[in-house]
Amino acid sequence: MKNFFSVFLLAACCAAAGAENNHIRIGYPSAGALINGQVGTVLANTDILAKNGLDAEVTPFLYGSQMQEALLAGKIDVALTSEANFVNLAAKFPCKVIATLGPAGRIAVMVREGSPLNKVSDLKGKTVTTVFGTSAHYPAVQWLLKAGLTPDKDVKLVHMAAAEGRAALMKGDIDAIVIWDPFVEDFIEKKAARMLDYSPSFFTTTVVSAEFLKNEPAAAVNFLAALQQAVLYMAKNHALANGWLAKTMGVSAEIIDKGSAFNTSYARAKKLKDINLAPAKDLLTRLQQIADFNLASGLLKEKSPVLENVDPSFAKTAREKALAGKFDPAAVSVKEK
């Protein structure tokens, strides 16, 4: 009953907000992150946002840290980002997760092709790198613990930027890396590295400033309706969306395609009803796990209030609006091919 009332109240507010400002500023990752990356390029290169009544600025960011800083500084209203980035943001900034695009591919612990290491437990006494504070950090530690290894005792786990870590693995300066798609697939395709273990649960989050949600609830719903349409457009136009992202990603469109196949909407969506952006239990569980881990490991001084800052009501209202309307991906105008 409470959820129904929340959705009803939000719909009523949006219906009464016809005079609201529909200007919205959106940030997305242009390198290093799948699904959010393709959907961001769709929003940037089509008229989907305009067709939903939005006057939008869509800005690409090379690094998640830059996008976080832009949200903190009030330069963007929305960030298409990862679950780990939301955990870090919620600890210091009033914001909410109002949607998710689902998994963004795999996270994997990888060793060089030809390495004598064949399982995670073989990493005892070795050096492993990942990017601390990102979505790869928590699973990196969990894989080690599951294998009976204690980080910083049995294994030297070190922080290194993604590009530096990949280069260090190839030079033999480290023994293993915990990295995410599309770089997992890139290593595999090049026969440069192989997986010891992996997980296809690298979650995306759509994070919006609390101020924007308070002041512009109708624009937030219109944005999520547009976001659902953009996801379907991506699903029906793999080559085009992957080609856009490949220009800034540093890997081929084919690699992007293979890494994205773990996302259900990307792989299977045929109609708008196949796409549900509302945050679900699996995402909530992962947010709590990362929040607990970041506090215990000293990455955060106070526990991030993640669960109380997830609001699925906007996505539910937007889904109803999107399904009640008509959307033809073939009728979308493209600014750049």
For residue 63, name the pLDDT band (cuts at 50, 70, 90).
confident
Question: Which of 202, 209, 95, 62 is CA-nearest to residue 140?
Answer: 202
Q: For residue 123, which of 172, 173, 177, 165 has the smallest C-alpha distance? A: 177
**To the nearest whole number, what is the mean pLDDT of the chain?**
93
**SS3 state at 197:** strand
Q: What is the mean pLDDT of residues 235-250?
A: 96
pLDDT tens digits for range 181-218: 999 999 999 999 999 999 987 899 999 999 999 999 99
Least confident window among 62-66, 275-279, 302-306? 62-66
DSSP 78-142: EEEEEHHHHHHHHTTS-EEEEE---B-S-EEEEEETT-S--SGGGGTT-EEEE-TTSTTHHHHHH
Helices (H), the chain: 2-15, 36-45, 48-51, 64-72, 83-90, 137-146, 162-171, 183-189, 210-215, 217-236, 238-249, 253-260, 264-268, 281-296, 313-324
Choices 3.40.50.10800, 3.40.50.11030, 3.40.190.10, 3.30.70.120: CATH for 2-104+203-331? 3.40.190.10
Residue 21 pLDDT class (50, 70, 90 cuts): low
pLDDT tens by residue, 243-278: 999 999 989 999 999 999 999 999 999 999 999 999
| CA-to-CA dists, residue 112 to 116, 118, 172, 182, angstroms | 9, 11, 8, 17
Contact 15, 7 (CB under 8 A): no
The predicted structure's pLDDT at residue 12: 45
Non-local CB neighbours of 90 within 8 Å, separated by 6+ positions: 304, 305, 306, 309
Length of the chain: 337
Which H or E run contains 173?
A: none
* Boundaries of every domain in the chain: 2-104+203-331, 107-199
Distance from C-alpha of 180 to C-alpha of 158, rounded to nearest angstrom? 16
Q: What's the farthest any 2 CA atoms get from each other in the chain?
A: 65
Q: How far is 329 from 332, CA to CA, in rounded Å?
A: 5
Question: Distance between CA atoms of 134 and 130, rounded to whole angstroms?
Answer: 9
pLDDT at 279: 96
Residues 6+ apart with CB under 8 A from 102: 35, 203, 204, 263, 264, 265
Write down the CATH superfamily of domain 107-199.
Periplasmic binding protein-like II (3.40.190.10)
Q: What is the mean pLDDT of residues 106-112?
A: 97
Q: How high is the pLDDT of residue 312? A: 97
Question: Do the Cβ atoms of 184 and 255 come closer than 8 Å?
Answer: no
Amino acid at 43: L
Q: How confident is the model at residue 20 (pLDDT cuts 50, 70, 90)?
A: low
Q: Provide the token pair at 32.
A: 């290093």
Same fold, 2-104+203-331 and 107-199: yes
pLDDT of residue 200: 84
Cis peptide leading into residue 94 (ω within 30°): no
Q: What is the pLDDT of residue 332?
A: 97
* Rounded Cα gap, residues 284 and 129, in angstroms: 27
Amino acid at 295: L
